[in-house]
Amino acid sequence: MLAAVSPMYAQNAPTPDAPTTSSPWFVRIGVLDAVYHPGATIATSGQRIPDATATVSDNTTLMFDLGFDVTKHVAVQLMGGVPPKPTVTGQRAVASLADLGRVRYGPVFLTGVYRIRDWHRVRPYVGGGAAYAIILKDYDRSVSDLIVRNNWGFALQGGIERELGRWAFFADVKELWLSVDAHGSLQDGVPVTARVKLNPTVMSFGIKLRLN
């Protein structure tokens, strides 16, 4: 009987070298560069200023992703970062106003991605989703009492990952369509409003770690 039980136990006993199922959760950290494609509609006392627009300074900051693999090919990612602080500067008809203000904001992206078939452990992916600009602090310049509103946007995404076991290197590009509304006062007390188009191209690269 012992001889009969022993093979059965050996067949069902766990082996120390058996592969473990990896977690569907992962994190990514890296460097993010936001290159804006700006524009603006500016009005004073409710009247639009012809040929008035604005530019927005580019930013570099740190980013992080929290992701979940729904399937082998489909994943959901939530991305944030250290809040950048771009400067909005008047152009053309309002160039004399120079810097209109600065804004500290936290960009948040929620996207779904589809991973295309890998090639030598390099996996390209594409996706899209929503973005939200959380305004944390406004800084007056030529516009005083500046207030900028939070707003939603839409993003398309693409990138590649080079897998090395639990670790991977990644490079990612997101194209974002996002505008924010702002209002304040000029130095002579005249109320001013603006709709500022940001539309950044967000490029990031870094490392990915799959959680246990």
Predicted confidence (pLDDT) per residue in 73-85, tens digit: 999 999 999 999 9
Cα dihedral 120, 121, 126, 127 in deg (nearest 10): 170
Two tokens, residue 93: 């008809």
* pLDDT tens-digit map of 86-139: 999 999 999 999 999 999 999 899 999 999 988 888 999 999 999 999 999 999
Tell me the domains of the chain and their CATH numbers: 21-210 (2.40.160.20)
CB neighbour list of residue 207: distance below 8 Å, 6 or more residues apart: 28, 29, 30, 167, 168, 169, 170
One DSSP character per residue, 37-102 reads: --EEEEEETTEEPTTEEEEE--EEEEEEEEEEESSSSEEEEEEEESPP--EEEEEETTGGG-EEEE
Residue range 4-60, pLDDT digits in tens:
444 444 445 444 444 446 799 999 999 999 999 999 999 999 999 999 999 999 999
* Helices and strands (DSSP H and E) totals, the chain: 1, 15
Who wins on pLDDT, 188 or 179?
179
Is the pLDDT score of 3 beyond 60? no
39-44 sheet: strands from edge to edge: 47-48, 39-44, 191-197, 179-185, 144-148
| Per-residue pLDDT at 201 exceeds 80 | yes
CA 28, CA 18: separation in Å to the nearest integer? 28
Report the largest interatomic distance among the alpha carbons of the chain, rounded to a whole angstrom: 100
The answer to whether 51 and 92 are in contact (CB under 8 A) is yes
Pairing of strands 144-148, 179-185: antiparallel
Interatomic CA distance for residues 48 and 40, integer angstroms: 11
Whether 176 shows a pLDDT value over 50: the answer reads yes
